[in-house]
Structure 1
Amino acid sequence: MAGERPKWDGLLKWSLSHSEGTRTTRNLSEEDRKWFLEAMEGQTVNVLKRMKEITLVMKTPENILETQGVTAADIEGGLVPLLGYLKNSHAGIRAKAAEVVTTVVQNNPRSQQLVMEANGLEPLMSNFSSDPDVTVRTKALGAISSLIRHNRLGLSAFRLASGYGALKDALGTDSIRFQRKALNLIQYLMQENKADCMVLSELGFPRMIMHLAASKSADVRESALGSLLELIKGGGMGIISGASAEEGEELKQILQQRIDGIITMAPDDLGAAREERQLVDLLWRACYNEPSLLQEKGLVVLAGEDEPAPDVAGKMFEPPLRRWVAKQISDEKNYDPNPLFLGYAPPTESHAENANNENDGAP
């Protein structure tokens, strides 16, 4: 036995035989303990190896797979064990399975379709909303985000599966990474469908997001500020129109605190907080129709940030919110209070004097 790795079925039977309530508890011998640990290690290694193989196949171009005789049915069959690992009893395997799903479906419409057809969203939603391990929940959310991006069927299924409620729960946790991933997906949902702004508002998201805009985590603050701006753009912030004076005052206090915090930042921290500075100023303008104190102190755009190096690839894949922020700042810098009008220019004093002299000398 010591030289063999027992099959998982054998390990399962062994575990059950020692967990029946009618049996008396006994201490494991050193040999049994070693056997059990080797079995656990072997199972984990086998699972990870299998998931790597599935990832490799799913990322291989379809035409190459066809030349090797791999059919769509074969690929779909390979997904079955992967999706099954999402329900594994070990949190580490559930988390790794979600991570593999993320890799498989990211920017891959064919894989997204196959996972949806294999009912892969269901176990992901279950892990995202109710898994006892926050790492598993976070990994499941990452997989869901990749699965439903630019996937109309996936977006609809997410909404029908009470996705908003699970996102709201995620915002209420203490996990910074979980909060940030939830906020990023919320932004994407609002960008894809402006009607989601009103739905999120009715579900009480604005107040939760406002609180996260005061988070100690810079990443969470930035994502929360971006979400608030998307809500305003989509008409989902009733506080802006005076529907709730209490929430309106709360938002103003939060923005003022962020302005005060940015003003007292060290130069290096100011550079790192570039997007946060710009978002705070844009939110202040959107809410109160005037520039923030950051603009007056020259902290919205720092020296050297006016003309960033060309980034052709970055522009192609730039997120919509960041592109919108950059446009607002660019429009403001290029604004000319004295626009150029086409037509004849008014006469100068010298021209007027010459004209008068000519008229005086005329017969």
Structure 2
Amino acid sequence: MSKEGPDWDGLLKWSLSHSDGTGEARNLSEDDRRWFMEAMQAQTVDVMQRLKELTQVMNTPEEVLESQGVTPVDIEDMLDELQEHVEVIDVANDLHSVGGLVPLLGYLRNAHANIRAKAADVVSTMVQNNPRSQQLVMEANGLEPLLTNFTSDSDVTVRTKALGAISSLIRHNKPGIAAFRLANGYAGLRDALGSENVRFQRKALNLIDYLLHENASDCSIVTELGFPRLMVHLASSADADVREAALRGLVELARDKNGGNNSGHIEDEEKLKQILQERIKDIGLMSQEDLGAAREERQLVDSLWRSCYNEPSSLGEKGLLHLPGEDSLPPDVASQHFEPPLRAWAANRDADKNSSAEKKQAPLLLGLGPAPGLENTQGSSTSNANTDADKQK
């Protein structure tokens, strides 16, 4: 399924041989022009035609492909190519019009785990920040196989990829969020938090954080399902991204509790306090470089401490909450690189203003000035009058 790339080196050499960049552009001969156009057309991919070709392969029964020597690895390569194409929003939306969306979703049920994972990657790329493709996938019932793979697939990579696709599908998509909730998607997220796979945990926590931020009422759901206990445990994870994501979720729960929507979101606050104290201790042992990288974690620990215990954490007293220079303005790059020209421009502008002001400061004249066009006549008359006066003297 792989294809050779464009012969860009040949085209570059041809281009350089016809121009050194210093002389005037010369007219190409008809043969040169024809060769160049043929070379460019040979390397230009008709994306719509290619989508149709890939769709034809996806619509071909697997046994037929096997009889023709097409292997699962070939299908994976084809999905990799398709993913590159659908990175363009218009191409992603066109996949449905050429009949490729339904067979793509069918690959989510393929017997090969790698193909299921690759198909989820393609779907994730298609629907990310793309409302039209989100709608098309929802209408094609694409959420159902993704949820199945996310919650019950035996391969953790497939589960993780399916979760990533679900996250892209339901973000900024209210019907998708509603369908996720109705399908008991939160139970799948709870199971993901209990997994030993760090990447799976991270994706689940990020989606939880988004859902709680969008729907504060879901705090009661995650509390009933036991999320706070799992988040408290993950707040001490060895993975920094998992720790921060868990702390963000706990901050959302604590804020909702303080807002009066529900009480007891974080049941084991003593356990949480112990973990936060350990994080403060570990932060105090960090190098200056690590402290800079842990800026968000430091702020989350302090915010969670304030929300739960109505007092600032000891990070502030230890000088670990705001490091020197973190709250300062960004470096003045403009003045360093552009100050001389700007200053010269400003100086010229001021000089122009002063010159204009000097021009406007004419001597005060009594009476009306000369009429337009009579300036020279007036000047001559004045000169003659002065001459006559001298003669009389």
TM-score by length of 1: 0.68
* Max Rg structure: 2
Match of 1:190 in 2: 212
1:265 aligns with 2:286: yes
Q: Which of residues 156, 164, 174 in structure 2 aligns to 1:142?
A: 164
Query: 2:81, 2:329 → 1: CA distance?
Result: 40
1:254 aligns with 2:275: yes
1:305 aligns with 2:326: yes
Structure 1 unaligned spans of 5+: 1-6, 14-37, 311-363
Match of 2:9 in 1: none
1:90 aligns with 2:119: no
Match of 1:348 in 2: none
Match of 2:195 in 1: 173
Structure 2 unaligned spans of 5+: 1-60, 332-393
1:74 aligns with 2:97: yes
Conservation of the 8 A alpha-carbon contact between 1:200 and 1:236? no
Residue 109 of structure 2: SS of its match in structure 1?
coil
1:56 aligns with 2:89: no
Match of 1:228 in 2: 250
Q: Which of residues 140, 143, 146 in structure 2 aligns to 1:121?
A: 143
Match of 1:282 in 2: 303
Match of 2:380 in 1: none
Matches within 5 A, 1:205-216: 205-216=227-238
Conservation of the 8 A alpha-carbon contact between 2:89 and 2:126? no
**Per-residue deviation, 1:53:** 3.5
Q: Which of residues 185, 191, 197 in structure 2 aligns to 1:163?
A: 185
1:9 aligns with 2:30: no
Conservation of the 8 A alpha-carbon contact between 2:219 and 2:265? no
Q: Kindly tell me: are residues 129 and 296 of structure 1, through their superposed partners in 2, closer, same or farther at Cα, counting changes over 3 Å?
A: same
Residue 257 of structure 2: SS of its match in structure 1?
coil
Match of 2:312 in 1: 291
- 1:292-331 Cα offsets, whole Å, 9 max, x none, are 1101011111112112539xxxxxxxxxxxxxxxxxxxxx
**Per-residue deviation, 1:73:** 5.8
1:130 aligns with 2:152: yes
Letter in 2 for 1:247: D
TM-score by length of 2: 0.63
Aligned length: 270
Q: Kindly tell me: are residues 50 and 185 of structure 1, through their superposed partners in 2, closer, same or farther at Cα, counting changes over 3 Å?
A: closer
Residue 321 of structure 2: SS of its match in structure 1?
coil
Query: 2:254, 2:150 → 1: CA distance?
Result: 28
**Per-residue deviation, 1:163:** 0.2
**How large is the RMSD of aligned CA atoms in angstroms?**
2.8
Match of 1:360 in 2: none
Match of 1:361 in 2: none
- 1:3-35 Cα offsets, whole Å, 9 max, x none, are xxxx9415768xxxxxxxxxxxxxxxxxxxxxx
Conservation of the 8 A alpha-carbon contact between 1:198 and 1:234? no
Conservation of the 8 A alpha-carbon contact between 1:54 and 1:79? no
Query: 2:309, 2:113 → 1: CA distance?
Result: 47
Conservation of the 8 A alpha-carbon contact between 2:228 and 2:265? no
Q: Which of residues 174, 188, 194 in structure 2 aligns to 1:152?
A: 174
Conservation of the 8 A alpha-carbon contact between 1:82 and 1:97? yes
Q: Kindly tell me: are residues 218 and 61 of structure 1, through their superposed partners in 2, closer, same or farther at Cα, counting changes over 3 Å?
A: same
Q: Kindly tell me: are residues 174 and 50 of structure 1, through their superposed partners in 2, closer, same or farther at Cα, counting changes over 3 Å?
A: closer
Query: 1:306, 1:278 → 2: CA distance?
Result: 13
**Per-residue deviation, 1:267:** 1.4
Query: 2:165, 2:265 → 1: CA distance?
Result: 37
Q: Kindly tell me: are residues 60 and 163 of structure 1, through their superposed partners in 2, closer, same or farther at Cα, counting changes over 3 Å?
A: closer
**Per-residue deviation, 1:266:** 1.4
Match of 2:18 in 1: none
Query: 1:169, 1:286 → 2: CA distance?
Result: 27
Conservation of the 8 A alpha-carbon contact between 2:202 and 2:242? yes
Q: Percent identity?
A: 60
